[in-house]
Amino acid sequence: VIGPRFSRVYEGQVGPLRDLKHIIGLETTYFYSPAMDSTDRRLIIPLDEIDALDDSNTITYAIVNRFLTKLEKEEGGFETRQLARVAVGQVFDIAEARRSQDLDIRERRPFSSAILDVESRPTRQVRLLHESRYNPYEGEISQHTTGLLLDGGRNWFLNVDRTWTRLRNTFPRSEGQSFINFSGGFSIGPRWFIEYLTRLNKVERATLEQSVILRYQSCCWGVALTLTDTRDKSEVFVTFSLLGLIEGERVPTFRTSRRVTEEGRFLGGSGGLAPMRIQSPLPGP
């Protein structure tokens, strides 16, 4: 459910940017998945996380702020651009609020951590991401992540992000983690691309993973050579791909994934990685 929404326009011009529109609204999502008995569960073959869906009864609510502006185009006229999106939200677990078991050893905690989710794109080449989680029961920030993406289109990219989790030895337990991810790449001519990715553990002051990717991409096929080195093994992958068999010809470019898991590990195979995104229950951009 989206709404109510309120907006206000602030007139003015700064360089090519004209006027600023602030939109604030409430977004609510109700999710219910019924419990299944053992007979029902045996009928489902778990192929992915959707097949392993557990019972759930939650309400997600967030106050979302969007800041829009008009950008003057070189050929004339204006286009609307979202400069930033700031959301503050939380999840309420109805099943946890109704729980009557084990109350003597574990109190009810129906409210999730309060989540601050910020995404800003001041220019086409710059993208900033930040997410923080505040535990209302412990009165402390339990997790935060910040990332910067510089996007040069098909010619180059550079990503840096940091993910941090607080160490807790009491309920709810969590391992103290601090990762820095770096990835970058550039084109060598119209069809050759080279990319480098690394993952650092700040707690142990150690390099956990490094990858170098050399890729050739034609209009209809491609080949990639990936060299990956971790603390316990080194691997070499050769990947062949076919493109354009259905959609037609495509311009060779970087294959960028937009997420890194909350542990800071890379997702996907070859290709650049944009700054981290901890899996968030809040409404997407």
Secondary structure of 171-230 as H, E, C letters: CCCECCEEEEEEEEEEEECCCEEEEEEEEEECCCCEEEEEEEEEEEECCCEEEEEEEEEE
The model's pLDDT over 22-50, given as tens digits with 9 standing for 90+, comes to 999 999 999 887 776 666 666 666 666 55
Name the domain boundary from 82, 112, 142.
112
Does 169 reside within a domain?
yes
pLDDT score for 106:
80
The model's pLDDT over 191-224, given as tens digits with 9 standing for 90+, comes to 889 999 888 887 777 888 888 999 888 878 888 8
Mean pLDDT of the chain: 78
CA-based nearest residue to 265, from 202, 180, 188, 194 = 180
pLDDT score for 67:
94
Does 30 reside within a domain?
yes
Residue 135: which residues within 8 A CB-CB, separation 6 or more?
Answer: 113, 141, 142, 172
pLDDT score for 52:
59
Does 140 reside within a domain?
no
Cα angle 45, 50, 53 (rounded to 5 degrees) comes to 85
Alpha-carbon distance 112 to 85, whole Å? Answer: 21
Band of the pLDDT at 245, cuts 50, 70, 90?
Answer: low
Alpha-carbon distance 157 to 253, whole Å? Answer: 11
**Does 183 lie in the same domain as 264?**
yes
Task: Please check the confidence at residue 233 and state whether its pLDDT lies above 50.
Answer: yes
Does 285 reside within a domain?
yes
Does 135 reside within a domain?
no
Does 132 reside within a domain?
no
Alpha-carbon distance 198 to 10, whole Å? Answer: 43
Band of the pLDDT at 267, cuts 50, 70, 90?
Answer: very low
Task: Please check the confidence at residue 153 and state whether its pLDDT lies above 70.
Answer: yes
**Does 88 lie in the same domain as 21?**
yes
**Does 254 lie in the same domain as 167?**
yes
pLDDT score for 244:
60
**Does 168 lie in the same domain as 105?**
no
**Does 174 lie in the same domain as 105?**
no
**Does 192 lie in the same domain as 88?**
no
Query: Of the segments 104-108, 153-157, 208-212, 252-256, which one has the largest average pLDDT value?
Result: 208-212
Which residue has 């800003």 as its token pair? Answer: 120
**Does 103 lie in the same domain as 1?**
yes
Task: Please check the confidence at residue 276 and state whether its pLDDT lies above 80.
Answer: no
pLDDT score for 170:
61
Secondary structure percentages of the chain, helix, strand, coil, to 5: 5, 55, 40
Name the domain boundary from 85, 112, 139.
112
The model's pLDDT over 65-101, given as tens digits with 9 standing for 90+, comes to 999 998 877 777 788 889 999 999 999 999 889 888 8
Does 82 reside within a domain?
yes
Residue 138, CB-side half-sphere exposure with 13 Å CA sphere: 18
- Range of the structural domain that residue 44 is part of: 1-112
**Does 87 lie in the same domain as 175?**
no
pTM: 0.70
Q: How many domains does the chain have?
A: 2
How does strand 2-14 pair with strand 114-120? unpaired
Does 121 reside within a domain?
no
Q: Per-residue pLDDT averaged across 109-128, rounded?
A: 90
Q: Could you tell me if 266 and 211 are in contact, meaning their C-beta atoms sit under 8 angstroms apart?
A: yes
pLDDT score for 239:
87
pLDDT score for 73:
77
